[in-house]
Structures are given as structure tokens and as C-alpha cells.
A and B are shown apart, each in its own frame.
Chain A
Amino acid sequence: MSIFNAIGVAGTGVTVYRKWLDAVSDNIANMNNTSRTSEGAFQARYVQARSAQDGNGAEVAGVQLGSAEGILAYEPDNPLADAEGYVRRPDIDMGSQMAQMIMAQRSYQANLSVVDRARDAYTAAINLGK
């Protein structure tokens, strides 16, 4: 961590964005879940990032959960529907999830680019005067 610090710092960023990608993929996978109105809907996951405590890079502070209330949908054909024909669906916006996915993916790649450039720079430093 101490000799090639830039690589370690970029690595913390990679980890944060990997967790964000995991959260987004979980949200998209469960987007169309239905549940009984007596139960809670699937809660979307939101990764909360912050600067690392030791001052080197970023870390995930925790995962916040979205509302369990969801949206009531009228689907009388659904076997889970209640007496009035309603089921509960998670309140997840596909567009927002896709936008978050692009941000997470590009940021993941950006951190890996930092690793690449840092490695080139360090290699140039090591080969100095050869």
C-alpha cells in the first residue's frame, strides 16, 4: 500500500463501484417482483460511499434500503392478489437504475484506468536511467 499507493487507492474505488454494480443488478433483477399486500415489497438497495477513514481512497459506509411500501398494482389475475385484486410491486424506476448502472460501470473503468496509468508511471520510474 505504501510503495505504490496510487494502485491501492484506485483499488478501493474499484471495490466501491463493484458493490454499487452489485446493488444495481440486484435492484434490476427484483424489479418485477410481486408480493401480497399484507407483506412488504422488495426494497431497493442504495450503496452509500464515503471517503476512507485512513484517508486513502473510498469505502462503502453502508447500504440503505428503499421503501417497503412499493406500489399497489391492480392485478386480479395474480395468484398473490388480495380480495380487491391488488398486489404490491417494488417502487424501482428502471431508467434511474440504468443510469446508475452506467455511472457505476464507467467509474469502475475509470478507476481501472488509474491503475493502468499508475503502473505505466511506476514502470517508467523504475526503468529510469537504464
Chain B
Amino acid sequence: MINPIGAVSGFTGISGISGMSGISDELDFTEAAKTPSPNTDFARMLSKGLESVQDAQDKASDLAVQVANGTLQDPAQYTMAANEASLGLQMTLAIRNKAVEAFQEIMRMQA
């Protein structure tokens, strides 16, 4: 009646991560191709987040150039953009560390 292993099948959702790299089209994972995985939303969110972190970095470096050549009127604009960019980078690193941690946890399971 109750299939205890059935609960584990929830992990198949992880295959949606292939959407991040965009190589899934070439490799054609049969499962990912068959059904739209719920995790494609997550992958899209992640890449959107990375884009906005990149935007913050670009803005900060633009303002740094303006500080250097003296065209920036308000130095606080630069320091705030630099803060924002550094926070974004820290967040990216935190997410990556969590992902690596989770991966290692899964790898340890098979022992």
C-alpha cells in the first residue's frame, strides 16, 4: 500500500537544474524533455538574481570610473553602489556555499 521509496522520487525534480547551463537541449535528458520540471522556475530565478548582481557590479565600477575622473558629484552614490555590489556578491557566495553543502551531503549518502 504505502511505498516508502516513493517519497524519494521527489528528488527527480533536481534535474531541472540542467536548465541553468542551457546544455540540456543538446544532451536531451529524457526526463527533463518529457515534463517541465518545477525547478526551471528556480533556475530562472537564480539566473535573474545573478544578472542583477552583475548589474550592481557594473554600476559600481562605472561610478568608480566617475570618481577617478572627477565627474561624480556625490561620492556617497559610489560608496552605496559598492556596498550593494558587495552584498550581492556575498549573497551569491552564500547561495553557492549552500548548494555545494547540499551536494556534498547527498554525495555522503551513498556510503
Interface residues of A (CB under 8 A from B): 2-4, 7-8, 10-11, 14-15, 18, 108, 112, 115, 119, 122-123, 126-127, 130
With known contacts A2-B52, A3-B52, A126-B94, A119–B87 Cβ distance under 8 A: yes
**Complexed CA–CA distance, A122 and B80 (Å):** 14
Q: Which residues of A contact B88 (CB under 8 A)?
A: 3-4
- B87 near A123 with CB under 8 A, answer yes
With known contacts A2-B52, A127-B94, A11–B87 Cβ distance under 8 A: no
Q: B33: CB under 8 A from chain A?
A: no
Q: Which segment, of B1-9, B15-23, B70-78, faces chain A?
A: B70-78
**Complexed CA–CA distance, A130 and B97 (Å):** 10
**Complexed CA–CA distance, A18 and B110 (Å):** 60
Q: Which residues of A contact B80 (CB under 8 A)?
A: 7, 10-11, 14, 115
Q: Which residues of B contact A10 (CB under 8 A)?
A: 80
Q: Which residues of A contact B84 (CB under 8 A)?
A: 4, 7-8
Min C-beta distance of A8 to chain B, whole Å: 7
Q: Which residues of B contact A3 (CB under 8 A)?
A: 49, 52-53, 56, 87-88, 91
Max count, chain B CB within 10 A of own CB: residue among A2, A3, A112, A119: A3
The 19 listed contacts between A and B (C-beta, < 8 Å) are A2-B52, A3-B49, A3-B53, A3-B56, A4-B87, A4-B88, A7-B80, A7-B83, A7-B84, A14-B76, A14-B77, A14-B80, A15-B74, A18-B74, A108-B76, A122-B87, A123-B87, A123-B90, A126-B87
Contact of A18 among B73, B87, B91 (CB under 8 A): B73
Max count, chain A CB within 10 A of own CB: residue among B49, B74, B80, B88: B80
**Complexed CA–CA distance, A126 and B88 (Å):** 10
- A115 near B49 with CB under 8 A, answer no
**Complexed CA–CA distance, A81 and B81 (Å):** 51
**Complexed CA–CA distance, A115 and B94 (Å):** 21
Known: A18-B73, A112-B76, A115-B80. 6 other contacts (CB 8 A): A7-B84, A11-B77, A14-B80, A15-B77, A126-B94, A130-B94
